[in-house]
């Protein structure tokens, strides 16, 4: 820091009090954004934006992504003031419940704050923040559909006249339009959807916008075709900063002035509850120290802000302690130029002393050493029984819990079957009787023509016996005319006239037939039709897709501390409706399907205890097995009528060498991170390491903490 700046800060302390900076950190399922905001001239404002960083998986990936985003914001913030430590979070709706952060998400955020030395002061739902910011920007309560189209999940919210009606999350497929359509179908209780869709949270969304513009929004209650727009890339993190930041700033004693709203209809002009403007803070044109001598921006923990006081705002637990520097008294100097050098020297001395105390006491480090583990695998047959209440270690039976979900959907596929259709040939034959007795031929009697072509008589026919002809001495055969029809379709049955036909069951010496005129009308052609394979393949494909959606629901329904056996999830169709039967002429086949999926979950602690007992005798003396290093694969072997399932289970354990953490911390304290990594390389099995130091000091000051109690060390496996 330059000397003139030091003097300026000392002679004008109110300038420092006027600006306190804060972090805003927005977290989604797949990415994070950050910003630095402050209060200036009685308004909240963003002064630096961090980068968007992707993440997936656990706390390590999230920590790395947040650290990188915060670093980007810090680089853009250089020169503005002291880097902030307090943070407000913008969170997805499924991270919160009843105006509180869910316990499992609270653990993630607490670990994140610990590793990056952040002080949590509050949180806000990102959708609530967007709704608030839209109202501020547009001057009226918005009626919109907010959509964040991620790579794996799509988050949707319907806002009507400034109130969020419902929030949904949809698993992403290759068809964005169909995914959004599926999500909006879930808002069935909303009679009319807003005809304005806003996309946000990504830089490249024009392609998504064009997909949604070209999508046919049938069966959805839009008053007219929706208008689809893209919000500015930084709109959401700015909304989190301004909406959540406004509440935090007011709670810390800043006076906040809201932008005036446009005139709107009285029925919509509902003032938000709990939005009282505080009378404390900075007032333009006045010295706040004179008007309120005791009012400053607090640096100590403040009273907890409850959800009842702040409708869209939630509060995290504050830190329990802060570090205080010892007070230093300066000697009184007489006025005059000779003492100026001594005064400046004293100021520099105090500054260096404060800097040294800060460097010694404040920095913290989270150090993770990754070790290539010794892998131990063992197969066992374990039973998961929903009727069992306690763990049976002797018989290897885990208490289970049945979790069920249901999903419905529609799908269309091309019909690939072929079918021959046409008309049979028809004509008339004369039946001849060459016997001495009359003969009755029933309807359907088969007669055979040239080429073994078969025909049937259209009706019953009675043929008289032969009679002698005295004049010629030659018997006259009995005869009768009757219609006949080909037994199959096709032009080959169009017989030429005067063709001779025989009876299938009688010799021609007794009976025969002949057509005086040609048979006509026989035709055939190939058509596209529905086959059995078409129905089977379509049902399998849709069932698989619905089962995947239902599987996501099962994972959400799985209680904290329990593990769902994903390999044991089995779908069963509860409703199947095809729009065409097998053999129907059609170019497409449609299916409406409802599937029910169920799975078994067990306690993670029960499984860990059972696995440790199974593997206990096979762990080498110098290695240890941590519960977080145990995993398993399951294969259904037998399902029993009582609901229990026998699984063939492959238990996988990463064994880590026993290391003296105290000795490692002692050897790395005060060292440059590169030297610490060099030391780690001497550890047997060392693969990689991660070092997070907070705050991040420049140059030679950027060492690991000098105090051992400021270093947190973890040993993990890396395969």
What mean pLDDT comes out for the span 282-305?
36
Mean pLDDT of the chain: 80
Are 17 and 297 within 8 A, CB to CB? yes
Q: How far is 159 from 157, CA to CA, in rounded Å?
A: 6
Are 373 and 629 within 8 A, CB to CB? yes
How confident is the model at residue 438, as a pLDDT? 92
Task: Give the right CATH number for 418-528 from 2.60.40, 2.30.29, 2.40.30, 3.30.160.
Answer: 2.40.30
How confident is the model at residue 42, as a pLDDT? 66
What mean pLDDT comes out for the span 231-253?
78
How confident is the model at residue 18, as a pLDDT? 53
Nearest alpha carbon to residue 483 among 532, 433, 517, 438: 517
Q: Answer whether residue 577 shows pLDDT above 60.
A: yes
* Half-sphere exposure of residue 394: CA atoms within 13 angstroms, side-chain side: 0
Domain 3-129+236-314 shares a fold with domain 143-231: yes
**Which two three-digit tokens encode residue 401?**
């819990």
Residue 273's pLDDT band (boundaries 50, 70, 90)? Answer: very low
Residues 6+ apart with CB under 8 A from 433: 439, 463, 464, 465, 466, 477, 478, 479, 510, 511
Q: How far is 485 from 231, CA to CA, in rounded Å?
A: 73
Are 172 and 142 within 8 A, CB to CB? no
Q: How far is 366 from 191, CA to CA, in rounded Å?
A: 52
- pTM value? 0.39
Are 450 and 552 within 8 A, CB to CB? no
- Please report, for residues 41, 282, 519, 660, the alpha-carbon distance to residue 257 in angstroms, rounded to integers and kept in the order given: 9, 11, 97, 56
What mean pLDDT comes out for the span 449-458?
94
How confident is the model at residue 254, as a pLDDT? 53
What are the sequence ranges of the domains in the chain?
3-129+236-314, 143-231, 332-359, 361-372+658-717, 418-528
Q: How far is 549 from 543, CA to CA, in rounded Å?
A: 10
How confident is the model at residue 201, as a pLDDT? 84
End-to-end CA distance of the chain: 46
Q: What is the dihedral of CA 27, 28, 33, 38, to 10 degrees?
A: -40
Tokens 């359509």 belong to which residue?
Answer: 181
How confident is the model at residue 196, as a pLDDT? 93
Q: Helix 176-185 to helix 206-213 angle, to the nearest 10 degrees? A: 60
Q: Answer whether residue 8 shows pLDDT above 50.
A: no
Topology (CATH level 3) of domain 143-231: Nucleotidyltransferase; domain 5 (3.30.420)
How confident is the model at residue 99, as a pLDDT? 80
Q: Provide, rounded to the nearest whole percent, the portion of the chain with pLDDT above 70.
A: 83
Are 371 and 687 within 8 A, CB to CB? yes
Q: How far is 693 from 368, CA to CA, in rounded Å?
A: 12
Is the CATH number of domain 3-129+236-314 3.30.420.40? yes
How confident is the model at residue 305, as a pLDDT? 35
Angle (CA) 160-164-168 rounded to 5° is: 115
Are 640 and 646 within 8 A, CB to CB? yes
Tokens 């099995």 belong to which residue?
Answer: 685
Most confident of 74-78, 352-356, 664-668: 664-668
If you ran DSSP here, which 8-state letter would residue 628 be given?
G
Tokens 């130029």 belong to which residue?
Answer: 337
If you ran DSSP here, which 8-state letter would residue 499 be given?
-
Assign 3-state DSSP to the chain and report helix, strand, coil percentages, each to 5. Answer: 30, 35, 40
Q: Is 568 helix (H, G, I), strand (E, B) or coil?
A: helix
Alpha helices in 515-603 (DSSP H): 532-557
Q: How far is 30 from 238, CA to CA, in rounded Å?
A: 19
Tell me whether residue 336 is exposed, middle or buried, using C-beta atoms within 10 angstroms of its C-beta: 0 to 12, 13 to 18, 19 or more. exposed
**Which two three-digit tokens encode residue 40?**
């200036």
Alpha helices in 636-693 (DSSP H): 661-668, 673-680
If you ran DSSP here, which 8-state letter would residue 699 be given?
G
In this structure, the number of other CB atoms found within 10 A of the CB of residue 212 comes to: 20
How confident is the model at residue 527, as a pLDDT? 86
Q: How far is 623 from 642, CA to CA, in rounded Å?
A: 41
- Summarised one tens digit per residue, pLDDT across range 164-205 is 999 998 888 878 888 898 889 888 888 899 999 999 987 778
- Summarised one tens digit per residue, pLDDT across range 604-655 is 899 988 888 888 888 888 888 888 888 888 988 888 888 888 999 999 888 8
Q: Is 516 helix (H, G, I), strand (E, B) or coil?
A: coil
Nearest alpha carbon to residue 448 among 407, 489, 524, 500: 500
Are 388 and 576 within 8 A, CB to CB? no
- Summarised one tens digit per residue, pLDDT across range 495-552 is 999 999 999 889 988 999 999 999 999 998 888 899 989 999 998 888 888 888 877 7
Are 140 and 262 within 8 A, CB to CB? yes
Q: Is 238 helix (H, G, I), strand (E, B) or coil?
A: helix
* Half-sphere exposure of residue 636: CA atoms within 13 angstroms, side-chain side: 14
Q: How far is 493 from 522, CA to CA, in rounded Å?
A: 6
Q: Answer whether residue 268 shows pLDDT above 70.
A: no
**Which two three-digit tokens encode residue 308?**
């009842």
Residue 252's pLDDT band (boundaries 50, 70, 90)? Answer: low
Residue 3's pLDDT band (boundaries 50, 70, 90)? Answer: very low
Q: Answer whether residue 14 shows pLDDT above 70.
A: no
Are 33 and 236 within 8 A, CB to CB? yes
Q: Are strands 100-101 and 96-97 parallel, antiparallel or unpaired?
A: antiparallel
Angle (CA) 566-572-575 rounded to 5° is: 140
Q: Answer whether residue 23 shows pLDDT above 70.
A: yes
Nearest alpha carbon to residue 89 among 313, 371, 322, 323: 313
Q: How far is 125 from 46, CA to CA, in rounded Å?
A: 18
**Which two three-digit tokens encode residue 658?**
């026993």
How confident is the model at residue 471, as a pLDDT? 73
Torsion 269-270-275-276 (CA) sign: positive
Q: Answer whether residue 90 shows pLDDT above 60.
A: yes
With residue 247 as reference, give the H or E element that holds it. Answer: helix 245-251
Q: Is 141 helix (H, G, I), strand (E, B) or coil?
A: coil
The distance of Cα 561 from the centroid of its chain, to the nearest Å, equals 20
Are 102 and 154 within 8 A, CB to CB? no
């Amino acid at each position: 820091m330059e000397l003139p700046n030091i003097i300026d800060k000392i002679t004008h302390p109110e300038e420092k009090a006027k600006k306190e900076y804060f972090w805003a950190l927005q977290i989604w399922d797949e990415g994070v954004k950050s910003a630095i905001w402050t209060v200036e001239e009685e308004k909240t404002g963003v002064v630096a934006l961090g980068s968007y960083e992707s993440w997936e998986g656990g706390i390590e990936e999230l920590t790395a992504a947040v650290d990188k985003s915060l670093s980007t914001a810090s680089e853009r913030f250089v020169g503005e003031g002291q880097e902030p430590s307090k943070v407000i979070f913008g969170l997805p709706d499924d991270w919160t419940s009843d105006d509180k952060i869910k316990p499992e998400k609270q653990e993630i955020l607490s670990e994140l704050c610990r590793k990056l030395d952040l002080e949590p002061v509050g949180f806000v739902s990102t959708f609530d923040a967007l709704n608030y910011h839209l109202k501020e920007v547009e001057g009226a309560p918005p009626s919109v559909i907010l959509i964040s189209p991620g790579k794996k999940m799509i988050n949707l919210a319907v806002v009507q006249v400034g109130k969020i009606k419902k929030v949904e999350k949809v698993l992403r497929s290759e068809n964005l339009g169909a995914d959004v359509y599926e999500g909006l179908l879930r808002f069935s209780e909303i009679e009319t959807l807003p005809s304005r869709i806003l996309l946000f949270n990504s830089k490249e969304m024009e392609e998504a916008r064009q997909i949604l513009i070209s999508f046919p929004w049938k069966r959805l209650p839009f008053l007219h075709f929706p208008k689809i727009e893209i919000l500015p890339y930084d709109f959401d993190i700015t909304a989190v900063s301004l909406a959540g930041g406004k509440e935090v700033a007011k709670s810390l004693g800043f006076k906040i002035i809201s932008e005036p709203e446009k005139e709107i209809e009285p029925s919509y002009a509902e003032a938000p509850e709990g939005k009282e403007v505080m009378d404390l803070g900075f007032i333009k044109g006045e010295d706040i120290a004179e008007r309120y001598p005791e009012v400053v921006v607090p640096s100590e923990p403040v009273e907890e802000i409850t959800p009842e006081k702040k409708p869209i705002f939630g509060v995290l637990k504050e830190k329990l302690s802060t570090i205080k520097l010892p007070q230093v008294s300066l000697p009184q100097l007489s006025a005059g130029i000779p003492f100026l050098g001594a005064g400046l020297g004293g100021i520099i001395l105090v500054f260096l002393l404060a800097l040294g105390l800060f460097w010694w006491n404040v920095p913290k480090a989270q150090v993770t050493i990754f070790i290539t583990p010794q892998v131990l695998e063992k197969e066992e047959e374990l039973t998961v029984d929903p009727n069992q209440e306690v763990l049976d270690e002797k018989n290897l039976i885990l208490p289970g819990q049945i979790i069920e979900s249901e999903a419905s959907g529609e799908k269309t596929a091309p019909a690939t079957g072929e079918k021959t259709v046409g008309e049979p040939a028809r004509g008339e034959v004369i039946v001849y009787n060459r016997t001495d007795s009359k003969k009755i031929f029933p309807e359907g009697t088969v007669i055979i023509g040239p080429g073994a072509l078969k025909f049937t008589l259209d009706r019953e026919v009675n043929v008289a016996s032969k009679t002698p002809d005295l004049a010629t001495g030659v018997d006259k055969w009995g005869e009768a005319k009757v219609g006949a029809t080909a037994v199959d379709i096709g032009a080959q049955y169009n017989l030429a006239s005067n063709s001779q036909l025989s009876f299938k069951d009688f010799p021609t010496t007794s009976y025969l037939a002949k057509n005086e005129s040609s048979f006509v009308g026989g035709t055939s052609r190939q058509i596209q039709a529905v086959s059995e394979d078409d129905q089977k393949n379509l049902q399998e494909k849709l069932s698989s897709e619905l089962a995947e959606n239902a599987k996501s629901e099962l994972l959400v329904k799985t209680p904290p501390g329990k593990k769902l056996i994903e390999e044991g999830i089995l779908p069963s169709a509860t409703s199947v409706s095809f729009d065409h039967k097998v053999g129907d002429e059609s170019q497409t086949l449609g299916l409406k399907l409802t599937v029910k999926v169920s799975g078994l979950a067990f306690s993670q602690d029960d499984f860990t205890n059972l696995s440790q007992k199974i593997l206990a005798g096979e762990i080498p003396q110098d290695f240890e097995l941590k519960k977080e290093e145990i995993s398993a694969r399951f294969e259904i072997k037998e399902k029993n009528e009582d609901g229990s399932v026998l699984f063939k289970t492959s238990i996988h354990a990463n064994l880590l060498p026993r290391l003296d953490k105290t000795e490692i911390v002692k050897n790395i304290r005060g060292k440059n991170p590169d030297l610490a990594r060099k030391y780690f390389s001497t550890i047997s099995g060392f693969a990689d390491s991660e070092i997070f130091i907070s705050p991040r000091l420049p140059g030679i000051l950027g060492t690991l903490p000098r105090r051992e109690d400021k270093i947190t060390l973890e040993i993990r496996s890396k395969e």
